[in-house]
Amino acid sequence: MARKTDAPPVNITINGIDLQVPKGELIVESVKRLGLEIPIFCYHPRMKPVGMCRMCLVEVGMKQPDGSVRKMPKPQAACTLPASEGLVIFTDTEQIHKDRKGVLEFLLINHPLDCPICDRGGECPLQNNTLFYGPSTSRFVEMKRHAVKAYPLSKHVTLDLERCIQCGRCVRFTEEISGDAQLAFRHRGAEMQPVTFELEEFTSKFSGNTIEICPVGALTSSHYRFRARPWDLETAPGICTMCSNGCNVWFDRRKGKLVRINGRTNEAVNEEWTCDKGKFGTDWMNNPRRASDVKVRRGDGFSRADWAEAYAEILERFREGGHEVAGLAGPMLSNEDLYLLRRMFDETFGSSNLDHRMTSVQGPAVEPPSFTIEGLEDEKGAFVFGASLSDESPIVYLRLRKAWYRQGARICVATSRPDDADAFAAVSVRYPQGGEAEFLRSLVAELRVQLEGGRSFGELADLASTLLETRGPILATESLWNLDQAGEVLAQLRLAAELLGVSLNVMALGANGQGAEELGVRPDAFDRTGLGTRQILEACADGRIRALWLAGVDPFEAFPDRSLVQRALENVEYLVVQTALETEAAAYASVVLPITAPGESDGSFTNVERRVQAFEKAVDPPAEAKPAWRVFSELMVRAEPRTPHFSAREILAEIAREVPAFQGVEWSAARDGGVLLGARRPLSRARS
């Protein structure tokens, strides 16, 4: 979990065992090298140590010239004690046992001891440490303090002050990690409590992490409260699909229903953090409006049908349809889904009218991103243009903030409106909405002036100067394709990147948007010629396309021009809606095909940094829902006898053979931390 360090090694002794550790390493981390444990509450390896709870006390001494050990007169907190030459540590002495019991006895003076009803029961560090290190009985019989129960800090986080042990983890998270500093302690002594400023709503976009790092049941999930106990849950690893970052998560299910998502450690991607959109945004998977049956339109309504009936009707309409059929794909389809969808349109339907882009403009392909999320920490700076990363790419946002907080990176931001990154940006510039192209032309001109030895004045000059000093990557998102002058904006960004000698990274927004690009789910990929999204919708509206396939996408929600979508779906002769949820578009369908949601089947996604991550089924799908790739495979087999595909692993192996960008990608490596396209090797093994 610790980053590599150039610190020289020092020799220390822990419980009689000699070992070498980097100079300055905290003893609480050094002990882990021996497979030992020091109990903690306030310490967290990703935040600065504060030594508040005193649970990690150890006895410390120094080796003397004669070989004896001279102990310090008082125990020391292992979470604030750095390793130095000759240090001798004792973690298992009679005195330490007594100290730990004393700390726990004090912590439990006012604790309500409501473990049977507490949501943390069964996975609570306070509970576990009390069982291992605490006293068997308490000497305190006085009345405990009382406070408001189940106080709603926000719609996601509920606070129970009686359980709080004042460790400060939640407060420090908002100050050091998320940076919004929305929580702070007020009052003193037994009355001290974490609250928001003036008791306003806790609106942090990363508030769910405070629930996970709270070592007691003081902060609990408003969504999960009283829904399950840890021993009721079945837990499986998964990938978050609410944005393109590809965070590693745990899916917790009970009786086949998803009840909770927690962060899962992957040092190369999300470390262990999640955003609220990912942690709390998957309730739709338990929505009663989930598509569960095959439906075929009969007259003005739908009737239930079987898969064979639907396949026969679809093939009659789509088979060898050529330029008269088209498809639109959604960002939550896996690599395997997208690959077979493209093959089905190419080989069975004979059409190149297939696209996944849901922006106002469908521009030419751009160079794939060349940065790594983990590598952003080591950059001297970065230039964020026109993007709200805390909303569009939250984990990239956290990494940039960490680069600034830990390494002093100089982050430059240029947007049309205030942004969360302004709080730590070295230079923050505003341009008028719609003035992106003009602003970039001015910036490029200023860069040229300064490269030739000149210098202007003003914030644009400061921006150019900082960019030339730091030479960090340029980060934008595909939302720039919604701009009126999208082509000119991209051209100017390329010029700026060329002048700076840095990479331009236009990041995908959808969960597998980058995978769709890599797999050629667009009309101009692999030397094909077809219609893009807007052209497809226009052709449907005027009758040139007679059959449209919507694979995991509702254009009413995804495409900016709602009126065009309505005209297209009203006028297209035949519409297949392949969906996991009964969307607005499904009301216009000729056939509705239920598909599994992410996490309900095996598959893989390619995240914003081109990391392929595989996952396996974690939650049971509803009724007749099938993985999208299975539907495409079965249709191709019905159209032309061939060997069907039997698993997502088999399809990924075929992708690795057939698609150059995926060469060398293997399921086992992608399943274990992910594989960066181009690197062809597993990186940063995920930890359980």
State the pLDDT confidence band at 138, using cuts at 50, 70 and 90. Answer: confident
Looking at residue 684, its pLDDT comes to 38
Residue with tokens 């931390």: 673
What average pLDDT does range 181-204 have in this prediction? 89
User: Residue range 325-353: average pLDDT?
Assistant: 96
Q: For position 147, what pLDDT does the model report?
A: 86
- pLDDT tens digit string along 617-634? 998 898 899 999 999 999
Q: Give the mean pLDDT of 280-289.
A: 88
**Would you tell me the crossing angle of helices 436-451 and 486-500 to the nearest 10 degrees?**
20
CATH 3.10.20.740 location in the chain? 9-106
Our measurement of the distance from residue 218's CA atom to the centroid of its chain's CA atoms, rounded to an integer in Å, reads 25
| DSSP state string for 183-249 | EEEES-GGG-EEEEGGG-----TTTHHHHHH-SSSSEEETTTTTT--GGG-EEEEEE--SSSS--EE
CATH fold of the domain at 374-502: Dimethylsulfoxide Reductase; domain 2 (3.40.228)
In this predicted structure, what is the pLDDT of residue 681? 40
Contact yes or no for 463/449 (Cβ under 8 A): no
- Burial of 654 from C-beta contacts in 10 A (0-12 / 13-18 / 19+): middle
Which residues of the chain form CATH 3.30.70.20? 113-286
Residue 493 has pLDDT above 50, yes or no: yes
User: pLDDT tens, 296-314?
Assistant: 999 888 999 999 999 999 9
Asked whether the beta carbons of 339 and 333 are under 8 A apart, the reply is: no
- pLDDT > 90: percent of the chain: 82
- What value does the CA radius of gyration of the chain take, rounded to a whole number of Å? 28
Q: Which CATH number fits domain 9-106: 3.40.50.1820, 1.10.10.1100, 3.40.50.280, 3.10.20.740?
A: 3.10.20.740
190 pLDDT band, cuts 50/70/90, is confident
Q: What's residue 299's pLDDT?
A: 85
Mean pLDDT rounded to a whole number for the chain: 92
Encode pLDDT of 515-548 as tens digits. 999 999 999 988 889 999 999 999 999 999 999 9
Hey, is 123 helix, strand or coil? coil
Mean pLDDT, range 163-172, rounded to an integer: 94
Is the pLDDT at 94 greater than 80, yes or no? yes
The predicted structure's pLDDT at residue 388: 95
CATH of 113-286, one of 3.40.50.720, 3.30.70.20, 2.40.50.140, 3.20.20.70: 3.30.70.20
The whole-number average pLDDT for the span 592-616 is: 95
279: phi then psi, degrees, rounded to nearest 5: -75, -35
pLDDT of res. 65: 84
Q: Please give the structure tokens belonging to residue 389.
A: 């990363």
The full length of the chain comes to 688
Question: CA separation (Å) from 58 to 55, 81, 98, 199?
Answer: 9, 10, 11, 38
- pLDDT reading at 188 higher than 70: yes
pLDDT at residue 685 in the model: 36
- pTM here is 0.94
Give residue-wise pLDDT tens across range 32-45. Answer: 999 999 999 999 99
Helix axes of 125-133 and 94-107: crossing angle, nearest 10 degrees: 140
Q: Is the pLDDT of residue 101 over 80?
A: yes
Res 80 pLDDT > 60: yes
DSSP alpha helices (H): ranges in 232-382? 276-280, 307-318, 335-343
* pLDDT score at 402: 96
pLDDT digits (tens, 9 = 90+) for 550-587: 999 999 999 999 999 999 999 999 999 999 999 999 99
Q: Are 60 and 91 in contact (CB under 8 A)?
A: no
Domain with CATH 3.40.228.10 in the chain: 374-502
Instruction: State the pLDDT at residue 222.
Output: 93
Sign for the CA dihedral angle at 618, 619, 621, 623 comes to positive
Work out the number of other CB atoms within 10 angstroms of the CB of residue 60.
Answer: 19
Which pLDDT score, from 0 to 100, does residue 680 have? 43
Confidence at residue 3, expressed as pLDDT on a 0 to 100 scale: 56
Q: Given pLDDT bands bounded at 50, 70 and 90, which one contains residue 284?
A: confident
Q: Is the model more confident about 60 or about 682?
A: 60
pLDDT grade, residue 688 (50/70/90)? very low
Q: Is residue 180 within 8 Å of 197, Cβ to Cβ?
A: no
Residues above pLDDT 70, as percent of the chain: 98
Q: What is the pLDDT of residue 679?
A: 61
Fold of 295-360+513-659: Rossmann fold (3.40.50)
648-658 and 335-343 are packed helices; what angle lies between their axes, rounded to 10 degrees? 60
Span(s) in the chain for CATH 3.40.50.740:
295-360+513-659
Query: Measured in Å, how far apart are the chain's first and last C-alpha atoms?
Result: 12
